[in-house]
Amino acid sequence: MSIETLTAAVRNIPDFPIPGIQFKDITTLFQSQEHLKELSDILYEKYRDRGITKVVGIESRGFFMGPAVAIKLGAGFVPIRKPGKLPYKVIEETYTKEYGDDVIQIHEDALTKEDVVLIHDDLLATGGTMVAAYNLVKKLGVKKIYINFLIELEELEGHVLFPDEVEVSSVLKFKV
């Protein structure tokens, strides 16, 4: 299978969730065992020698591949969620995204200074959600952070929001 085959499997939904947005629907990738395996293999190969100890997935689509990659890497999985969803003490970050302001949270004891973290989400557009997630993970004092997306909307240049020492990568790239 190829990147082109995976790219072709992503469904475009016009005007979702608001008019003017061309939504990239990745559920089509997960419905196919072959596509799902290929995505899992690509992510494993990219990060297998990086010493990842925790994969952090962002609610909700970061929960699709995050745990699968964590299992393959022999790492733990940590969720970042919207307010009121995590049962223990949390730290939070407020941010602006394409459609307005939002807040995300992580358990205050989810990561340690010894952790090497891969933060994973489905899509990099303007980067607001991932910047907030990066800030949360950084506050917990981890050793190293990697950032990964299944899809990047290249023309929005969300990757420029991250420091040079943070490797940001995407499996599939689309023009806006």
Q: How many domains does the chain divide into?
A: 1
Annotation marks residue 155 as catalytic? no
Q: Which range marks the domain in which residue 107 is found?
A: 49-174
Long-range contacts made by residues 166-170, C-beta under 8 angstroms, separation at least 24?
A: 166/134, 168/124, 169/46, 170/124
Q: What is the pTM of this model?
A: 0.95
- Catalytic residue, chosen from 34, 45, 98, 114, is 98
Q: What are phi and psi of 84, to 5 degrees?
A: 85, 0
Write out pLDDT tens, residues 16-42.
988 988 899 999 999 999 999 999 999
Annotation marks residue 98 as catalytic? yes
Write out pLDDT tens, residues 133-171.
999 999 999 999 999 999 999 999 999 999 999 999 999
Judge whether 135 lies within some domain: yes
CATH of the domain at 58: 3.40.50.2020
**In terms of Cα–Cα distance, which of 88, 93, 85 is closest to 138?**
93
